[in-house]
């Protein structure tokens, strides 16, 4: 069975050949090394590594767990000499950007027709596996559900000053999706991106810390270093089921961005046939249902009988209000929005009204 390949970000970006050398060193048992870049986290990746290797004993799955933006940066840096076979997990907008840069290879898994056209690339360069609603999470020891913020704008109330923790948006696909949705909401309302920047400036004024990774985010929230965060529903559901951390969430009342979480074969993958086989397996009925039952992922597939879905998902779906978003516009403008936020808003927010 493979092991996690992990290194500091600087090493991962400056030495793109390291992973290939490691894979070559570890390929001596005769198995085909399959390198997967993913933000899905150690628990899910280890689970599916074991399942895939049990079904495909000739394959050695080797995964790297990193933030969505880190994956995209690494795939870009390795374009001339790709090291990954599969990119599994990140908002579809990031996959669309990668596809436009020639970083992904067309693939048509057997389950393609079960995915709505809006959740897959028309040229087959990426395809959705899960839908990920974004939520407002909170420390459930410190706050009751009634006390927690009920909607995005509630997080800007004075009572949450210095009580908000935010995962660093520059490395997080989840936070990029939330920021992009807020920017689009405010732009649609006013016709001016400045309205969105004002909202983000007010959020910055509420924020105690921009946290480097999800694990630290969970730990700090549990220790009451902040009481509220913005995050994704499946990860919080997983925490509730597998840990004793006092973290719960609410689905925003006005609606929430629902991210299409995708998978793709990397262009120039060292092992393209193995990569295509893995993609076909990862989106198959048994595996997406396993992800729903074990890791609270919401399948993109539309051909799953309702009675096959876990109870938590059947219970949550009636309260889920997807936010209407012009994904093309958001895809085009998110890089400039994030640059502006990083240069002119981070650490400089002011409280109060618009």
CATH number, domain of 273, equals 3.40.190.10
CA distance 127 to 146: 38
Q: How confident is the model at residue 317, as a pLDDT?
A: 84
173: confidence class by pLDDT, cuts 50, 70, 90: confident
User: Mind listing the pLDDT tens digit for each residue in 192-202?
Assistant: 999 999 999 99
CA distance 1 to 24: 15
Q: How confident is the model at residue 319, as a pLDDT?
A: 84
Asked whether residue 3 is domain-assigned, the answer is: no
Asked whether residue 354 is domain-assigned, the answer is: no
In this structure, the answer to whether residues 230 and 102 fall within a common structural domain is: no
The pTM assigned to this predicted structure is 0.80
In this structure, the answer to whether residues 149 and 227 fall within a common structural domain is: yes
In this structure, the answer to whether residues 217 and 328 fall within a common structural domain is: yes
In this structure, the answer to whether residues 116 and 163 fall within a common structural domain is: no
Q: What tokens were used for 83?
A: 């090291």
In the three-class reduction of DSSP (H, G, I as helix; E, B as strand; rest coil), residue 122 is classed as coil
Asked whether residue 352 is domain-assigned, the answer is: no
Total domains present in the chain: 2
User: Mind listing the pLDDT tens digit for each residue in 209-246?
Assistant: 999 999 999 999 999 999 999 999 999 999 999 999 99
In this structure, the answer to whether residues 146 and 292 fall within a common structural domain is: no
Mean pLDDT along residues 174-182: 95
In this structure, the answer to whether residues 247 and 143 fall within a common structural domain is: yes
Asked whether residue 56 is domain-assigned, the answer is: yes
Q: Do the Cβ atoms of 127 and 112 come closer than 8 Å?
A: yes
Asked whether residue 72 is domain-assigned, the answer is: yes
User: Mind listing the pLDDT tens digit for each residue in 270-329?
Assistant: 999 999 999 999 999 999 999 999 999 999 999 999 999 999 899 888 888 999 999 889
**At residue 3, does pLDDT exceed 90?**
no
**At residue 351, does pLDDT exceed 60?**
no
Asked whether residue 353 is domain-assigned, the answer is: no
In this structure, the answer to whether residues 188 and 93 fall within a common structural domain is: no
In this structure, the answer to whether residues 242 and 143 fall within a common structural domain is: yes
In this structure, the answer to whether residues 191 and 164 fall within a common structural domain is: yes
Q: How confident is the model at residue 27, as a pLDDT?
A: 53
Q: How confident is the model at residue 349, as a pLDDT?
A: 65
Q: What is the β-pairing status of strands 258-266 and 104-105?
A: antiparallel
Q: How confident is the model at residue 181, as a pLDDT?
A: 96
In this structure, the answer to whether residues 339 and 194 fall within a common structural domain is: yes
In this structure, the answer to whether residues 283 and 304 fall within a common structural domain is: yes
Q: Do the Cβ atoms of 268 and 82 come closer than 8 Å?
A: yes
Q: Do the Cβ atoms of 298 and 132 come closer than 8 Å?
A: yes
User: Mind listing the pLDDT tens digit for each residue in 49-108?
Assistant: 999 999 999 999 999 999 898 999 999 999 999 999 999 999 999 999 999 999 999 999
CA distance 36 to 50: 14
| Owning domain of residue 157 | 132-257+320-344
Choose among 113, 93, 91: nearest CA to 39.
91
In this structure, the answer to whether residues 46 and 86 fall within a common structural domain is: yes
User: Mind listing the pLDDT tens digit for each residue in 11-65?
Assistant: 444 444 444 444 444 456 899 999 999 999 899 999 999 999 999 999 999 999 9
Choose among 208, 290, 275, 240: nearest CA to 44.
290
Choose among 143, 252, 155: nearest CA to 204.
155
Q: Do the Cβ atoms of 39 and 171 come closer than 8 Å?
A: no
Choose among 106, 32, 53, 97: nearest CA to 327.
97
Instruction: Classify 30 in phi/psi space as left (phi over 0), alpha (psi -120 to 50) or beta.
Output: left
């Amino acid at each position: 069975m493979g092991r996690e390949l992990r290194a500091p970000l600087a090493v991962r970006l400056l030495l793109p050949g390291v992973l290939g050398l490691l894979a070559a060193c570890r390929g001596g048992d005769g198995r085909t090394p399959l390198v997967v870049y993913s933000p899905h986290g150690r628990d899910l990746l280890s689970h599916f590594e074991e399942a895939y290797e049990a079904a495909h004993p000739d394959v050695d799955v080797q995964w790297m767990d990193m933030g969505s933006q880190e994956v995209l940066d690494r795939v870009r840096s390795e374009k001339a000499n790709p090291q990954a076979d599969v990119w599994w997990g990140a908002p579809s907008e990031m996959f669309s950007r990668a596809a436009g840069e020639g970083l992904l290879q067309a693939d048509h898994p057997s389950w393609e027709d079960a995915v709505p056209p809006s959740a897959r690339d028309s040229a087959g360069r990426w395809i959705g596996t899960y839908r990920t609603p974004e939520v407002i999470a909170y420390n459930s020891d410190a706050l009751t559900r009634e006390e927690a913020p009920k909607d995005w704008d509630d997080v800007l109330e004075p009572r949450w000053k210095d009580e908000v923790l935010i995962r660093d948006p520059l490395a997080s696909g989840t936070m990029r999706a939330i920021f992009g949705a807020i920017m689009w909401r405010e732009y649609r309302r006013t016709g001016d991106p400045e309205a969105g920047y004002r909202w983000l400036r007010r959020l910055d004024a509420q924020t105690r810390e921009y946290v480097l990774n999800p694990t630290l985010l969970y730990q700090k929230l549990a220790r009451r270093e902040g009481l509220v965060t913005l995050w994704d529903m499946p990860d919080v559901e997983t925490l509730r089921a597998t840990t004793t951390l006092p973290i719960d969430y609410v689905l925003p009342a006005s609606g929430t961005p629902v991210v299409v979480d995708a998978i793709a074969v990397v262009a120039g993958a060292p092992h393209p046939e193995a990569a295509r086989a893995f993609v076909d397996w990862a989106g198959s009925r048994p595996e997406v249902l396993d992800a729903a039952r074990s890791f609270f992922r919401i399948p993109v597939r539309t051909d799953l009988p309702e009675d096959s879905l876990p109870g938590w998902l059947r219970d949550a779906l009636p309260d889920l209000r997807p936010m209407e978003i012009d994904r093309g516009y958001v895809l085009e403008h998110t890089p400039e929005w994030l640059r502006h936020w990083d240069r002119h808003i981070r650490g400089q927010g002011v409280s109060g009204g618009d």
